Chain A
Amino acid sequence: MTGCGVPWISACKGNVLKFRTGDDTNQVTEVNPDLLIVEGLRKYFPVQGGILNRTIAKVQAVDDISFIVKTGEVLGIVGESGCGKSTTARLLMGLIKPDTGSVTFGGKLVDDSDASALREMRRQMQMVFQDSYSSLNPRLPIEDTIAFGPKVHGTLTSAARARVRDILAKVGLDPSQFIRRYPHELSGGQRQRVNIARALALEPRLLILDEAVSALDKSVEAQVLNLLVDLKKEFSRTYIFISHDLNVVQYISDRVLVMYLGKIVEIGSVKDVYENTLHPYTQALLSAMPSMDPDRRTESPPLPGDPPNPINPPSGCRFHTRCPYSAPICTTREPELAGGITQRHSVACHLLVPGSGHPKAPAQHVVK
């Protein structure tokens, strides 16, 4: 995997830094390491009801999350339904406006005060959705669908057509056979390839894949994952890969971000999160995976109950209602992501913070 050896460097927002790429090379490259910086992002959706249709509650979809995506890496986002994965993706794209917080992309703050800057930002950040059918216009042949974006952004029709042929070949669809077809004439895997081609046609720097392989059959999922890995090698793009499937995230990501009810509970390299798992929720998620070994079946469920409703999330640590290590402190005080966003591996849990008030918290500092 490319990029897995990118060393973490301390956060220097938007600054051009010298840093080393790769595990064993001493090559020094000059790049902007932080492609995307997310700070304090929050989005509550109002719930209307009652006879006056007033706001009676708020869904706390994303609550104060911060993270960094470095150029050339794949950041995986995992979590159960309703944890805010997709809302995060939509906030990054500027498809919905955050209540508070900021997104800095390529050193520039993303906001809607400068329309042309927002337009350019949208070109550089593209998204692939889960439902391959509803994200394509059923009345356009796929050539027109893929050429649409480049044309809007000022590419001449003939050049856009040439790019369509080029990009279709790259995603493994024979242009001569496919350009005049409509979405309903394609299989699910082919449609998802078209969606990837559509996103890549604008040559984005960041590709956000929101459950992009979840609706595909396993045999086709493997084809599309291989394609994503190949395209990444070829174009060295940055991906944010959102999925509920821990195996797929482990396969494709360099770093992983685990969310629970709108909060980041753990973030770190794939190796750290999967092999040196710190947060009780991440541990439960990993042990809830089917074993794939008939001799070693799962014997007891790692967690009781369902995830709580994000309309009224539990106080303190949102996981305390299902956590096997819950202590009184967890019900009252919200744990912070230890060390903030610059740590290699950080986790939001009182259990791991010395002096947090959790009876089982260590006396000495253990979180790196």
Chain B
Amino acid sequence: MKRSLLKLAIIAIAVAPVWAADDFKLPMNLEKLAEHATESVDVTLDQSTLQLASGFLSKDDPDEAQVKKMIGKLKGIYVRSFEFEKEGQYSMSDVQAMRAQLKGTNWTRIVGVKSIKGENTEVYLLKNGDQIGGIVVLDAEPKELTIVHVDGSISPEELSRLGGHMGIPELGKDKKTKGNGSSAGKDKKDDDEQSEKEQ
């Protein structure tokens, strides 16, 4: 019995660094950025809060059941966003510290957008077999920094099913077919008016 426990402990110690390597943690010094920011937003939905939310979703309603299933696999959703008055009020080393966590592990950078205006957006996925084990979005602009971390298993199909519920926009839905001409129709009209003015 003691030997089995000892073996288990050795395995746990050996495997722990591998798990830890995939963990993405928001740096503690991000809080300091809030002191220089004109506005900062911190959204923290940890596992207990997500479980609380999923507890209110019905198993009988197919849509809610899907959302409940999806939320059940999530460990947390974290958003940090900072807006600054001037450029250079946050250091690129703050972003580098986060990038460093996402290198040399199971994280894969799937999107990297750089603009001459200094806007830099990256999307990282944590591969967990054929599932996505987490998503990190880093958006660094001269006067704005946003970090989004979705921790836990999630599939793009499940994510798209959330659209249209709880105020989440619908992904890939045609404006003309959605909204019966109310807001969608208005948007189209506004677009047309805008293009006429430009001409």
Asked whether A and B interact, the reply is no
Seen from chain A, the residues whose Cβ lies within 8 Å of a Cβ on chain B are none
